[in-house]
Structure 1
Amino acid sequence: MTPSHPDPSTSGQGRPIATWPVSEARPALAPAAQRVLRNTYALLAMTLLLSAAVAVLSLALQLPGPGPLLGLAISLGLLWAVHRLQHSAWALPAVFALTGFMGYSLGPLLTRSLALPGGTEAVALALASTGATFLALSSYVLLTRRDFGFLGGFLTAGLLIALLAGVAALLLQIPALALTVSVGVALLSAALILYETSRIVHGGETNYVLATVGLYVSLFNLFTSLLSLFGLGGSDD
């Protein structure tokens, strides 16, 4: 008589042994999403390098800034131009014009920051924190494939409120309000990184120009907000 082989899923007493379910493999990105993601990160790297170069040049030459309100108006105008030209051959020049101008406007802020005691360390910390935040949040979305599309309405309302509060803080010169705005903008910028990356992953954003601008503006606002929270961004001393 042939001896029977024990069932590996049962114990010697015939009781079933608990087994762990095999986790499902993470689905691969669609080819279109992969292409948008690749082009977005490539263009984002170029815009960040351009902004850094212009900011360093502005810092070295001690160029005067455009002023907060004028700078905001020009940035919004160039942002509108990018959206207007997103499907034309002028889209990339508009992106580089926007990011170059924002780099130029960063020069005076860095000048004031570096002139303060411990300014170099604080700027480096703000830069490192911005990079680490972007890498952590982007990696989280890419690894988990979680959809953050539900944040769209909240972010739109939050950005509008932050814009109005920021203008009010600038005109009324209220330090507590400016600090609150900086905290809010930092949190909104982090949420926007999640939102924009999620839209690319799930096919909600198919234009890499707009995706790049969305991530760039989030990084720029996150960096400047961190400088302000470190007590550097709004200092005129």
Structure 2
Amino acid sequence: MAQFENLTSTGRESTLATNKVLKNTYMLLSMTLVVSAIAAVAAMAVGLSPAVSMAMMFGSIAIIWFVLPRSYNSSMGIVWTFVFAGLMGASLGPMLNMYLALPAGPSIVAQALAGTAIVTFALSFYALTTKKDFSFLAGFLMVGLIVVLVASIASIFVAIPAMNIAISAAVVLLMSLMILFDTSRIVNGGETNYIRATVSLYLDIYNLFVHLLHLVAVLTGRD
């Protein structure tokens, strides 16, 4: 009987801890997305150059690789997460201005935003309600990301429009699966750090939006 009570108590504590991580993750994720949106609008307003945008992108990558891993378990991790989100959002400025300058540009951006929101909410809701373990996707996602990375590097030297479309379509699929995978890890206790979870989901949503934007522009014949 005592063992049963201990198991029940442990299970309850585990559920509470998971729910706390989940709540904190989505709260921080919402705030980082708002910060990114504000930074993107500001970058568009000042006409941020592609060179500065690229520097910001490299800066955000440096934060992910070298800074955040050392601060995930401290309050500074939250500060650096916002810095990272701000840089990532601002780096979108030149690209968004380019798309908005196209005929029906505002519609293209709006459709990409709506598509990103729908995919994110739908897949997150599915993972949260079913509590299904998507850890089996890990190997497929790793191989897929490597293939996309190699193809992206190759596309720099081989200008084939169809290749860029295929890469964007692949990234949209991979990021959709990543949302399921990352949300599932939180729900099933595989991820216990909400800052790290936030950064992972942020990157999923960011890349989903960028490549969905490209696909929408292509499908509407504007890119």
If the length of structure 2 is used for normalisation, what is the TM-score?
Answer: 0.86
Q: 1:108 aligns with which of 94, 113, 125?
A: 94
Alignment of 1:74-153 (within 5 A): 74-80=59-65, 81-153=67-139
Q: Which moved more, 1:221-230 or 1:88-97?
A: 88-97
Q: Which contiguous aligned blocks of 4+ residues in structure 1 show a shift greater than 4 angstroms?
A: 67-72
1: CA distance between counterparts of 2:198 and 2:166? 27
2:102, 2:222 within 8 Å by CA — same for their partners in 1?
no
Which among 173, 197, 202 is matched to residue 216 of structure 1?
202
Structure 1: state its 5+ residue gaps.
1-26
One-letter code aligned to 1:183: A
Question: Is the CA contact (8 Å cut-off) linking 2:155 and 2:163 kept in structure 1?
Answer: yes
1:57 aligns with 2:42: yes
Higher gyration radius (CA): 1
* Cα offset, 1:71, TM superposition: 5.4
For the aligned residue pairs, the C-alpha RMSD in angstroms reads: 2.3
What fraction of aligned residue pairs are identical, expressed as a percent? 44
Q: Distance in 2 between matches of 1:49 and 1:171?
A: 36
Number of residues paired by the alignment? 209
Whichever residue aligns with residue 68 of structure 2, its letter is V
Partner of 1:186: 172
- Using the alignment, how far apart are the partners of 2:197 and 2:187 within structure 1? 11
Q: How far apart, in 1, do the equivalents of 2:71 and 2:123 lie?
A: 29
* Helix, strand or coil at the partner of 1:203: coil
The CA deviation at 1:180 is 1.1
Residue matched to 1:203: 189
Distance in 2 of aligned mates of 1:66 and 1:92: 27
From the two aligned structures, give the one with the greater helix fraction. Answer: 2
- Supply the distance in 2 between the matched residues of 1:236 and 1:64 (Cα, whole angstroms): 22
Aligned-partner Cα distance in 2 for 1:191–1:46: 23
CA drift at 1:77: 1.5
1:191-222: CA deviation from partner (whole Å, max 9, x where unpaired): 00000100000000000001001110000000
- 1:30-76: CA deviations, max 9, x gaps? 10110000000000011000000000001111111337865553332
TM-score, normalised to structure 1, is 0.81
Distance 2:153 2:54 in 1: 8
For 2:30, the equivalent position in structure 1 comes to 45
Range 30-39 or range 67-76, more displaced: 67-76
Secondary structure of 1:230's counterpart equals helix
